[in-house]
Structure 1
Amino acid sequence: MLRSVCFKNFVRFKEYQLLDFSESGPFIFIGENCSGKSSVFEGIRRCLKLQFSSSISSVFDTNQPSYFICNFETDFPRDNNNNILCGFVLLPPTTEKNEENDDDLTESQSCAKKVRGEDTPDRKQEHETKSSLTNRKEESVEISSTETNVCHPEASNQFCSGETVKEFNPGRQKHTTRFYKFAMKCGDRSDPMFINLVDKSEDGTNLIICKRYQISQTENQQVHKQFKSTILEQKKESMGVDKYIETIFKNIDKMQEDTSEGLESILELLTKDIIFTFPLRSVGPLQWSESKRLASEYREANYTEAENRCEIIKYFLEDNGEKFDKDKEQEYFKQVTQIDDYHFTLKDGKINLPKGKFALLKTPEGILEAKGFSIVISSKQYKTILLEEPDRGMHPQFVERMTQIINQEKKSKRVVLITHQKGFITPRTVSDTFIFRCTGTGHRIISGKSILENDANMKKLRLLTSHHVPDIFFARKVLFYEGDSEELFLGELKSQILSGDCSVTPKLFEKDDAELSNKQLKKCLIEYTFIKMNSKDNRKFYQSICKQLKLDHLVLVDREAVANMLVDRKPKGEKEDERLKAKERSRKEWETIRRDIKEEHIFFWLDGNIEDMVFAMCENNSKLESDLFKQNVKRKKGKLFLHDRVKCSNITESVRLLLDNCKPEHDLAAFIKRLME
């Protein structure tokens, strides 16, 4: 089973990343689109047998080495090797003066020429290359027949970043990028590391082995030891791996070629134990009512295409029980769906349903995903299962039941999945969740375990935020607030501004800036996720989570909360004096304090609480107070909007009135401007 992965300078990840899968899971990848979740699955796949790859993943910095390493726990007792390390290394280009003499070529360059039949110096071929991406955008560079070889002597260092490679021109500088796959067993014996130099095939359709090497652990023994301990002990620093690549891979061309197929044998064993699934992304070809393929003459072709996309179901139906436990699969499919209408069979070699062959075209996506899931989880051979968006089209209860089944199988199977649904994220799965975040200096991954740090925090998270955990982890920005009054007010404020029912910016900004500021305000509100803290005492806990996630946030609290915060920061003998000062401070002094704590991501109402802010706007504006009175919003009526006579229509109209009457000197204006920062 997959135990861990680590990588550096891989796709969008500049820094060293370590993902620990040592617990029982399931392990959950969440994050924005293009944050690198699928890239990690791609990296794992590329660490396995060569037939799984026809391209090479891109790198963040083409001038630095890139690597991706998997650590698998095995059950091969015959040789007492309990772990297998496998992966790939991509070395940056080396620049050399281009000469006609083949003696000046590096080993990988000469190898590439032999693979393509370029045995003589006078045989030259112009290569015009175009970068091609796989179905994972910007995450890999596809090897096509027109692309330059990875270890081709004319290959540009831009090859792995997905940019066009310039045509080779004799006399110019040559760039060589070298791609290696490797594997080694780690156990009682000191088995060698097997390394293959990889190139594209002559027709450009796949990757092939150019050279084979075997590295003994007795040579550079200390470097080998540091490398293995970094991976097996899951050290957070990459020094041991970086040193190994510097010592071994950068000098491998000087080593003698090996003839054994040790790497292929190891990877073949691993590949049998792991399976990947990808989302169906609509089983049928029909996506809108204007399609000409709705016509009856296209029905057979539509079915054929749909069946091809359901290959996993057909593969299962053709199995005689050797690879899948069919009784368990049926049990799990029923457990997830709670429906008896979908019995998949084979008829004349085609997928068939009780309502007829063409019923496949009308089968809901969630049902097909549930079938695919029940098939792979009931496998007799797969011990590591990687599921990409297995919840597409599923009802939330399907997701909950699917999680229960994964928990049933967690002792014998390691499940890692990518999701955009909140259903998988609960306080009990947080520690096995990995949050992928986009940053300007390279993406990063944060583990839920590192956020919680200890069992006390886990318990607190379960008690306080059972329904907010997914919101925090999926958010781009968060606005935390205290209670129900703020929830009703802020929700209505956001809705009215985004819908265009009310525009506050013309009153707060100069005429020339009003339109631009309105767009900026809408953009900020779209990015913010609003989360109720339930108590101001939870502020520190929430902010600590945001700090771990490097999540932009703002905490909205009453003035009293800030007064208590200032008291807590004073030494024991000064606390009472601080309490007395808080009662005597002027509004202007509170404004100074608000500026002073701005860097702490805190905003508070200068007049007290949200009710005080609202009625401070009514000073010198009797009409506003009268209009609010008509909406049952009155002074000395307790919490804003919470008494029984206030209806939803009253809340909507009250917020509209407040926005229409908001002026630059009001605290509401200061809050809106703070949201825009």
Structure 2
Amino acid sequence: MLRAMVFHNFVHFEDKHLLNFREGNGATYFIGASSTGKTAVLELIRRCMCSTLNSSLTNRFNEEEHGYVFCQFARDGTEKNVILGIIVEGEGNKQSMEEIEGGGEENKSELLPGGGKEDDMRNDDTSEDVEEDSEKKDERKERKGDVKFHKIVIYHSSDGILRIRSTLFFHRKEKNIDSSQDVEVGDDIGLHIDKIEEQLFKDKSDANEFVKKVLKAIKKEQPNKVSYDHHQNMWDQISEQFVGILSMRGPGTFQWTKSNTILEENKEYNYNAASEQAEVITKLLDADEVDKDKEREIFNALTYPDVFEFRKVSEGKIVVEKSGGRVFPLLKTSLGIVEAKQFALLISHKAFRTICLEEPERGMHPQMIERMKTILHRECDRKTVIVVTHSPAFIDSVSIERSYLFTRKKQVSSRSVCGVNNIKRTQFGKLMKVSEIEELKKIFFATKVLLVEGMSDKIVIQAIFGHILENCTDKEKMKNINSYQIIVLDGCLRIKPIQDLCKDINLPFAAVLDRDTCIEVDGRGCVDAIHKKYYKYTEEQPINIFLGEPFKTLSDKLQKEENLFIWKDGDIEDFLLSERDKRDKILEILDLGDKKSKPRKEMKRSIKDKLKIGISQEQSSKLGEHLNEYEEVSRLCEFLSK
């Protein structure tokens, strides 16, 4: 099963990234905003593990440099690992023919494991010379514009000798792929497999040096043109233990009411087509490799209290029977139930040791997702299961320890540079409390966040946002406002670590906090202290005087340097009561009309209590419309638009 992977210079990933799948039970989760490379990493795993070739090559971030991916696998019944990988040669790093051919005959024995002779090596593992006709030879020659890449396998053979074997391929300009010869490079790189693993799968190791050594050794050996059957056999063994389920990306994924295919005369065709397309279910439903008892247990746990039975009828068509005796075709079965059946079959398959699932929760009820999370934690002790998800439901105090966060690090021209972080190594791992996970985990699925102190702040700001989105004609302003995910901090003391987390994972953020975050006022109503980092305060003055030009200077500095907005009048309740001529309307909207004549302190307390229990959608709409007239709202919107 897959234990670790390392990759560099592929798709969105400019730098080296190391992912470890060894620690503890449970699935590993890939989370993050859309288009941050989660599926691309699954595709790299698949290309490493599968013995068959794709019709195209995964794009490199920088075509001038080498790209590589290596996956480390634990083999059943042995302590020895196998490393499978792909190296794509960079256009700007091609070695000269003199460098490739340098060394002559005296170097030949150094390239063979243990310094053995070439004939001995060819006899090992039933390898044989390849005889090619002239037409075949021409197909295997490098042409101008080709991209050269190598599929690598590193392992210990039965006699204990380290084998490093490679097959060269050419990605042609016509986008097809041709294979060339197999080679063995052996001990020329001068490393034991333990050292190779250390160089590839340690955080601070330099995998580039290993890649350069392997490429140099491969190029020296290419004239031998030997073929090794065991190379392919090893790849096949690993491939048989791997399965990946990727999201459907072709046309016709969803039905729509305008389609002619839903007419009555096409009904039988659609029923049969649905069964054909559900290939995971049709192939595994009656397969001997599936543990039937375990599969039934998992599936029934997901769908409880309902019971569904999938079975094949004439010509491979699948029907589903629900408890109570009702039978219906697969096409009429809800997506969540189909996904649950597919999931149960894959997890209970006896041969699959590495399983990659992309959004397996599609169409599922939230309660089913919670159950799936529990099953993944329980059933993954002897499997490596990787789940790509956009569902926060999978993330809790247990699974977050095994989650990788994918983020956009920076923009290069029109391209995003993405990165991957193990969440427990980010600032989140340091500040996380179990009680806060439900709110804070939203950060990992956001493209931009707005941090607020409490739920009352969130309710009021949501009302403001709602009015803007319903009435604003400025498309850019609407787009900007709509991109914010509001996160409740539960007090201003959390702002610094959350800001650090956002910086750590390259997530754009802004914060809206109470005035006392930076300004302290004494019992006389005078400014007592101001955070020295933001403002040099030298003389005592009443707060109402300070809220003129001095406050503007401080506010501008906070917004520019810290992405921080502070309410001018105090906290969120002070803001709502800040304009006397609009105060009564606020109280009416919140059903607090009887508090109009009460002291300001009591009004404030009543508003606080009301917001704590929440307001209706109608109240939110009215509140947003009314607050749109406030000067402070204009200042807030200007801040958020920057």
Per the normalisation by structure 1, the TM-score is 0.77
Q: Distance in 2 between matches of 1:4 and 1:417?
A: 15
Conserved? CA contact 1:6–1:70, under 8 Å: yes
* Cα separation, 2, equivalents of 1:348 and 1:605: 70
Query: Take 2:295 and 2:251, find their aligned partners in 1: how far apart are those partners?
Result: 21
Question: Aligned letter for 1:475?
Answer: A
The separation in 2 between residues aligned to 1:285 and 1:490, in whole angstroms, is 38
In 1, Cα distance between equivalents of 2:160 and 2:30:
35
In 2, the alpha carbon distance for the partners of 1:332 and 1:582 equals 67
Q: Which amino acid aligns with 1:375?
A: L
Q: Conserved in 2, the CA contact under 8 Å of 1:369 and 1:392?
A: yes
**Residues 273, 383 of structure 1: 8 Å contact kept:** yes
Secondary structure of the corresponding residue to residue 87 of structure 1: strand
What displacement does 1:568 show?
A: 10
- Is 1:430–1:449's contact at 8 Å kept on the other side of the alignment? yes
2:376 matched residue in structure 1:
406
**Separation in structure 2 between the aligned mates of residue 44 and residue 647 of structure 1, nearest angstrom:** 48
Contact map agreement 2:147 2:172 (CA 8 A) in 1: no
**CA 1:66–1:579: 2 relative to 1, 3 Å:** farther
Per-residue CA distance 1:633-661 (angstroms, 9 max, x = gap):
754312574445996445532331221x2
Query: Offset of 1:435 from its aligned partner?
Result: 1.8
Q: Mean Cα displacement is larger for which, 35-44 or 333-342?
A: 333-342
The AA in structure 1 aligned to 2:14 is K
Q: Which runs of 5+ in 1 are unaligned?
A: 97-102, 104-113, 121-148, 155-173, 504-514, 572-576
RMSD: 3.5
- The aligned counterpart of 1:592 is 553
Q: 2:632 and 2:151 mapped to 1: Cα distance?
A: 61
2:454 to 466, 483, 486: 483
2:82 paired residue number:
84
Gap regions ≥5 residues in structure 2 = 95-100, 102-131, 522-527
Partner Cα distance (2:146, 2:93) in 1 = 7
- Give the match's secondary structure for 2:226: coil
| In structure 1, distance between residues paired with 2:356 and 2:622 | 50
SS at match of 2:390: coil
Contact map agreement 1:563 1:579 (CA 8 A) in 2: no
Aligned-pair distance for 1:236?
4.0
How far has the Cα of 1:282 moved from its partner? 11
Label 1:560 to 1:347 Cα distance change in 2 as closer, same or farther (>3 A). same
Candidates 320, 324, 335, aligned match of 1:353? 320
Q: Give the distance between the partners of 1:450 and 1:262, measured in 2 at CA.
A: 40
Contact 2:465 2:624 in 1 (8 A): no
The residue number in structure 1 matching 2:640 is 675
**Count of residue pairs brought into register by the alignment:** 571
Q: How far has the Cα of 1:364 moved from its partner? A: 0.7
Q: What displacement does 1:607 show?
A: 2.5
Q: CA deviation at 1:402?
A: 0.9
Deviation at 1:222, TM superposition (A): 5.5
Deviation string 1:64-107 (CA, Å, 9 cap, x unpaired) is 11111111122342xx52x11111011023799xxxxxx9xxxx
Q: CA deviation at 1:410?
A: 2.1
Q: Is the 8 A contact 2:199 2:210 kept in 1?
A: no
Match of 2:637, SS state, is helix
1:654 aligns with 2:610: no
What secondary structure, in the 3-state scheme, does the structure 2 residue paired with 1:248 have? helix
Q: Residue 48 of structure 1 contacts residue 86 of structure 1 at CA under 8 Å; is this kept in 2? A: yes
Q: 1:258 to 1:153 in 2, by over 3 A?
A: closer
Paired with 1:67 and 1:249, the residues of 2 have a C-alpha distance of 11
Correspondence 1:529 to 2:482: no
* CA distance in 2 between partners of 1:475 and 1:488 (Å): 19
Match of 2:68 in 1: 67
The separation in 2 between residues aligned to 1:293 and 1:474, in whole angstroms, is 36
Q: Which of these residues, 81, 100, 117, is aligned with residue 135 of structure 2?
A: 117
User: How far is the alpha carbon of 1:451 from its aligned partner?
Assistant: 1.4
Distance in 2 separating the partners of 1:37 and 1:116: 44
User: Which amino acid in structure 2 is aligned with residue 252 of structure 1?
Assistant: I
Distance 1:276 1:578, change over 3 A: farther
Q: From the superposition, tell whether residues 206 and 609 of structure 1 become closer, same or farther in structure 2 (CA, over 3 Å).
A: same
**Other-structure match for 2:34:** 33
Aligned to 1:538: 494
The correspondence for 1:447, drawn from 422, 426, 437, is: 422
Deviation at 1:52, TM superposition (A): 5.0
**Cα pair distance change 1:585/1:201, threshold 3 Å:** closer
Q: Percent of pairs identical after alignment?
A: 26
User: SS at the partner of 2:91?
Assistant: strand
Cα distance, 1:612 vs structure 2: 2.9
CA distance, structure 1, for counterparts of residue 231 and residue 442 of structure 2: 44
Q: Which residue of 1 aligns with 2:475?
A: 519
1:330 corresponds to: 296
Matches within 5 A, 1:537-576: 537-563=493-519
User: In structure 2, how many angstroms separate the alpha carbons of the residues matched to 1:175 and 1:282?
Assistant: 30
Q: TM-score, normalised by structure 2?
A: 0.80
Deviation at 1:43, TM superposition (A): 0.6
Displacement of 1:226 in angstroms is 5.8
| Cα deviation digits, residues 44-63 of structure 1 (max 9, x gap) | 11112431533211111111
| 1:229 maps to which of 181, 198, 202 | 198
